[in-house]
Amino acid sequence: MASVSGGNDNESVHGVYGKMRALIIYATLCACVFSQVWPLQMQCYHCEESPLEDDCSAPHFIVNCTANIQNACQKEVMVMANGVSYRKACASFTTCLIVSAGYQSFCSPGHMGSVCISCCNTPLCNGPRPPRASIASWLHSPGPPLLQLASIVVATLSAPP
């Protein structure tokens, strides 16, 4: 039997292919974004009242935080009579912000009795302050592996059939 479709079969196949290609690109990009933004388990530096000479940012101070509960890192810097000391730990982001706000009036860096509490929500963010990177070094960095994979998938799927 002959088909009476009017010759639009080829156009509809390309339309479906285009929609599927767009869906695959969208899904890949979403997976890359979500996997980089929301890691399964937070990691922080952890120590109790470490002296200034050792700000407890060495690899052996890294701990895994309790998943879905401790979603942030906390850092306390205390200026005492015997010098500056650090306290670092995993924390709930909301709780950390509340505690930090409560200590705001006690935070005067460099002054005796000062207690400054900071909160952050990226892995190992309570560690040493990273060196400032220039825009040029950021542009030439290879990037996260999933981001590289996404760019390969997009390039492959963007090629004409």
Whether residues 17 and 65 share a domain: the answer is no
Sequence letter at residue 101: A
In three-state secondary structure terms, 92 is: coil
Neighbours of 120 (CB within 10 A): 17
pLDDT in tens, 130-157: 555 544 444 444 444 444 444 554 455 5
| Separation CA 108–CA 115 (nearest Å) | 7
Task: Enumerate residue ranges in the chain where pLDDT < 50.
Answer: 3, 30, 32-33, 35-37, 39, 134-150, 153-154
Whether residues 95 and 76 share a domain: the answer is yes
Whether residues 16 and 47 share a domain: the answer is no
Residue 80 near residue 110, CB atoms below 8 Å: no
- Number of compact structural domains in the chain: 2
pLDDT in tens, 70-79: 999 999 999 9
**19: containing domain:** 10-39+143-158
Whether residues 116 and 50 share a domain: the answer is yes
Tell me phi and psi for residue 146, to 5 degrees: -65, -30
Q: What is the pLDDT of residue 141?
A: 45
Locate 54 and state its tokens. Answer: 């050792």
Q: Considering the entire predicted model, what is its pTM?
A: 0.56
> Does residue 93 lie within any of the structural domains?
yes
> Does residue 109 lie within any of the structural domains?
yes
